[in-house]
Amino acid sequence: MAANWFSAAGPVARRVRGYFAPVNRATQTPVLFDPSEQGGFALDTPPMPWVSLGWIQAFARTAGSKTWAVSGGIPAGTLQQVRQTLEAQVSFEFMSWTKLTMALATGSQHMNLLAAGAGAGAAANGAQAAAAVTVLSGSTTTFIALAAADAASFTAGSIVAVDSDYTGQTGFVGAPVTGAYVRLSLTDVDYIRRVTFNVALVSEVTSTGLILAEPLPGGAPQAGAKLQAVKGFVDREGGSFYQEWSALFVMEGSQGERIFFHYPRLQAMTSANETAIPLNAKHTGGLSRVLLKGQFLALPVTDPLDGEKVLCYRSFLPSANALV
């Protein structure tokens, strides 16, 4: 009888794929990934609410946890070890520039450059924005219902931000993805749309609204949401806000096996920085691809299984028929 198993060598993986899910900042509640239920997902279509960040490279994990040896006896010998501190870092480079990857890679607040109103004075974060248009009911994550006249003011290829008006609230703003922390009440009615992650590209304009090329990361617009055109994105060196997210990294091996690294809470720990890699050996001094470089600090969560404080879960799903 032919053997129906094989002895697997170490996984051979091409690159690492990254995924994002929002952390509820007010309650410090992360999104958990369950590899036993969700581990077989198609890499291009992650389970809700995970959002693909595309390919990443130079993925490196550093455990900074320190252990301390408890000694006893004469001469002293180690009796046991205790974990003194809990720390882990992750660093990598995003292969693509998007709203999400830019925001996550920077250690501060990330904002949308709203399209300026006529005659608005210049401002580093974007000028006073053109008036927002009201989003109608019936909108979904990929379709924004608008009045015909409002829809006609947009074109395919526009970028739009969809969220509520700012009404003077303080604390964390933006839901479900927190975009900023407001210490003192502000006067900019567009502030939430400046920091919202509910941003997408318009693929088609109809008389009833805008069809989006990609789903809004924050889900369907809430009642009372408004929409503004976005020209680009901006972040600052400085400020007091740290992005935090639930992270999932996947390495898929050549035999279908998968390694998952799940960090329930990850915060950027460095300011925005980039790295340039030559397109090929011929272009060492010329054309280069600019990558977003990020370094992140893992924050602990309490595992409900046994109450232990942990920073990261590493899971391995072996390939079919491989000896374990």
Partner 1 sequence: MQNAKDSFYMALRTRLAALNPQRTVLVRGAVRPGILVEEAESPFSQLPNDVFVLRWLGLAVDMGLSSMMSAEECEIAYQTCGTQSFGGLDRGRLLSAMDKELVAMLVPCYTPKVNYASNPQAAMLTSVFWDEPEMGPIVVQRDQLTRSAKVMVCSYEEQGE
Q: Does 255 interact with partner 1 (rule: CB under 8 A)? A: yes
Pick the closer one to partner 1 by CB: 7 or 85: 7
Site membership for partner 1, residue 7 (CB under 8 A) = yes
Minimum Å distance from CB 257 to partner 1?
Answer: 10
Question: Which region among 201-209, 266-274, 300-308, 313-321 touches partner 1 (by CB under 8 A)?
Answer: 313-321
Binding of partner 1 by 279 (CB under 8 A): no
- Binding of residue 45 to partner 1 (CB under 8 A): no
Nearest residue (CB) to partner 1, 13 versus 189: 13
Cβ–Cβ < 8 Å for 65, 25:
no
Map residue 6 onto helix, strand or coil: strand
Residue 310 interacting with partner 1 (CB under 8 A): no
The smaller minimum CB distance to partner 1, of residues 14 and 289, is found at 14
CA neighbours closer than 13 Å in the CB half-sphere of residue 42: 2
Most distant pair of Cα atoms in the chain: their distance: 87
Cα–Cα distance, 15 to 69 (Å, whole number): 38
Structure tokens at 17: 């794929």
Number of residues that bind partner 1 (CB under 8 A): 17
Does residue 1 belong to the site contacting partner 1 (CB under 8 A)? no
Coil, helix or strand at residue 148: helix
- Out of 57, 254, 273, 284, the only residue in the binding site for partner 1 (CB under 8 A) is 254
CA 321 to chain centre: 34
DSSP string, 57-90: EEEEEEE--EEEEEEETTTTEEEEEEEEE--EEE
Q: Which residues bind partner 1 (CB under 8 A)?
A: 2-10, 12, 14, 254-256, 319-321
